[in-house]
């Protein structure tokens, strides 16, 4: 009898432990963004960047610049009227890039033979928009695969940074 009772208690204890572990896992999944941001905090008061100790026996330090992340907008499609080179679109540089990045936009048609540039913008400063564009070509009615290539440039020295290609559909109706 004792042995049966002990086994039962052990099984109940194991099941209760598994329930607690499962509940903790659910809480971690639900709050993953908060937990990740807690561990990825950077001291924003250190405007010059991260300070790294070169050697534990040295007292000199080196400052390393850390770039602010680039805010990249997104689109799913652009509509164009058949027989026209004008597209009513809102290409914009998010205000979150203020004091950090200008952007240029290129639009390419994608085909089996490669990429064809059909639009190239000038640099757009943060918070500004291009509300309509003229394409380099007039397309027949149909749905085309295209890419919006976004190239950010640091405002401080106009150097290009990492870029982004967004796959879209170009709808000619």
- Lowest-confidence segment of 10-19, 63-72, 131-140 by average pLDDT: 63-72
Q: How far apart are CA 20 and CA 14, in angstroms?
A: 10
**C-alpha radius of gyration, the chain, whole number:** 27
Any idea what DSSP says for residue 68?
P
The domain 77-172: what is its CATH number?
Answer: 2.60.40.2550
CA dihedral angle for residue 150, residue 156, residue 158, residue 160, rounded to 10 degrees: -50
Q: Within the chain, what is the greatest distance between any pair of CA atoms?
A: 89
pLDDT on residue 8? 78
Residues 147-170 have a mean pLDDT of 95
Q: How far apart are CA 172 and CA 84, in angstroms?
A: 9
Q: How far apart are CA 95 and CA 91, in angstroms?
A: 13
Residues 43-56 have a mean pLDDT of 42
């Amino acid at each position: 009898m004792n042995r049966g009772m002990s086994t039962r208690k052990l099984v109940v204890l194991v099941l209760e432990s598994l329930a607690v572990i499962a509940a903790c896992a659910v809480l971690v999944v639900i709050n993953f963004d908060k937990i990740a941001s807690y561990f990825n905090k950077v001291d924003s008061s250190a405007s010059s960047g991260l300070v790294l100790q070169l050697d534990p026996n040295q007292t000199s330090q080196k400052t390393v610049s850390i770039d602010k992340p680039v805010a990249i907008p997104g689109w799913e499609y652009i509509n164009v009227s058949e027989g026209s080179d004008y597209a009513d679109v809102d290409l914009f540089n998010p205000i979150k890039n203020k004091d950090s990045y200008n952007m240029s936009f290129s639009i390419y048609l994608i085909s089996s033979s490669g990429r064809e540039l059909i639009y190239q913008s000038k640099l757009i400063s943060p918070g500004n928009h291009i509300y309509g564009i003229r394409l380099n070509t007039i397309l027949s009615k149909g749905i085309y695969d295209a890419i919006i290539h976004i190239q950010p440039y640091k405002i401080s020295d106009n150097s290009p940074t990492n870029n982004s290609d967004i796959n879209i559909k170009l709808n000619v109706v």
